[in-house]
């Protein structure tokens, strides 16, 4: 069976290598990639923008206790079920139905966050894969937002359904059959983002190991771009290679 290598957080390795540091004036918060990561202060300034869509991937219980104003809850398990189904990552109708209730259009800026970074990153990757061009992760997630005393609400926002036609980004997905043919290429780097124990238990031959947790600082936010680049190079993951993560 042809199984796609759809990763949760490991795919961010590719983005860190490929993107440039955010430009702009100095602020109290470290600069990260503006396309992939949004800081809490930046998001708060955009809460009244009509093109902003915020997706909360926490449990219904956590969401009901308080969430970012305007945020809509997304069931991670539901999305994962479709993604791993036979042909799920090529199901145009299925993904159109997932995005319609969220009010997402081609002009939307979608910001994803949640208690578990792996869950938020999974939704972020799937959004990019189905063709949502402007999708970001909230750096530090809900914890960073809440601890800094930013606004929250308990009511569920009314969202007008939209029609979204998925346009699958084939370059974001590697099929196993195709990967097997590419493993001997010196331009392909397979990156295993699982734990040490999982990696030791078996992995794709020649894989570099970089557990996703190593991408984060102690406060749960992503390390700086410079720190991440140094980390990747230490693991032998170079900028001129195509990284296939799992």
Question: In angstroms, rounded to a whole number, what is the distance separating the alpha carbons of residues 173 and 88?
Answer: 12
Q: Per mean pLDDT, which range of 37-41, 133-137, 231-235 is the poorest?
A: 231-235
Examine the pLDDT at 9 and tell me if it is beyond 60: no
DSSP string, the chain: ---B---SSTTHHHHHHHPPPPPS---SSPP--TTTEE-HHHHHHTTT-TTEEEEE-S-HHHHHH-B-TT-EE--HHHHHHHHHSTTGGG-HHHHHHHHGGGT--TT-EEEEE-SSHHHHHHHHHHHHHTT-SSEEEETTHHHHHHHTT---B-SPPP-----------GGG--BHHHHHHHTT-TTEEEEE-S-HHHHHT---TT-EE--GGGGB-TTSSBPPHHHHHHHHHHTT--TTSEEEE-
Neighbouring residues of 245: CB distance < 8 A, sequence distance ≥ 6? 5, 7, 10, 11, 13, 14, 190, 191, 192, 193
Examine the pLDDT at 23 and tell me if it is beyond 80: no
Average pLDDT, the chain: 83
The per-residue pLDDT for 239 is 78
Examine the pLDDT at 60 and tell me if it is beyond 90: yes
- pLDDT tens-digit profile of 168-220? 988 888 777 777 777 777 777 888 888 889 988 888 888 888 888 888 898 88
**Average pLDDT of 89-105?**
93
The domain limits of the chain are 30-169, 172-245
The per-residue pLDDT for 27 is 40
- CA angle (42, 115, 19) in 5-degree steps: 50
Question: In angstroms, rounded to a whole number, what is the distance separating the alpha carbons of residues 160 and 27?
Answer: 36
* Percent of the chain's residues with pLDDT above 90: 47
The per-residue pLDDT for 76 is 93
Q: Which residue has the higher pLDDT, 14 or 79?
A: 79
Query: Same fold for the domain at 30-169 and the one at 172-245?
Result: yes
Which of 3.40.250.10, 3.40.1830.10, 3.40.50.2020, 2.40.30.20 is the CATH number of 30-169?
3.40.250.10
Examine the pLDDT at 118 and tell me if it is beyond 70: yes
Is CATH 3.40.50.620 what the domain over 172-245 is classified as, yes or no?
no
The per-residue pLDDT for 184 is 72
Cα first-last separation, the chain: 17
By the 8 A CB rule, do 32 and 89 touch?
Answer: no
Examine the pLDDT at 94 and tell me if it is beyond 90: yes
Q: Which residue has the higher pLDDT, 222 or 19?
A: 222
């Amino acid at each position: 069976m042809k199984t796609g290598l759809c990763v949760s957080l490991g795919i961010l390795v590719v983005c860190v290598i490929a993107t440039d540091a955010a430009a702009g004036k100095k602020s109290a918060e470290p600069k990260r990639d503006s396309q992939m990561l949004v800081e809490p202060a930046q998001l708060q300034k955009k809460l009244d923008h009509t093109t902003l869509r915020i997706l909360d991937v926490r449990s219904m219980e956590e969401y009901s206790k308080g969430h970012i104003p305007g945020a809509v809850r997304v069931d991670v398990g539901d999305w994962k079920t479709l993604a791993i189904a036979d042909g799920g990552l090529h199901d145009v109708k299925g993904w159109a139905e997932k995005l319609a209730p969220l009010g997402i259009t081609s002009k939307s800026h979608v910001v994803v966050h949640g208690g578990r970074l792996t869950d938020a990153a999974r939704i972020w990757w799937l959004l990019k894969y189905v063709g949502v061009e402007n999708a970001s992760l909230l750096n530090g997630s809900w914890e960073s937002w809440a601890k800094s005393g930013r606004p929250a609400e308990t009511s569920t926002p009314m969202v007008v359904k939209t029609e979204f036609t998925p346009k699958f980004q084939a370059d974001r997905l590697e099929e196993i059959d195709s990967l097997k043919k590419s493993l001997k290429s010196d331009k392909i780097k397979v990156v295993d983002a699982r734990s040490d124990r999982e990696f030791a238990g078996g992995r794709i031959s020649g894989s570099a190991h970089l557990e996703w947790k190593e991408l984060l600082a102690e406060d749960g936010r992503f390390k700086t771009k410079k720190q991440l680049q140094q980390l990747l190079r230490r693991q032998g993951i170079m900028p001129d290679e195509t990284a296939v993560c799992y």
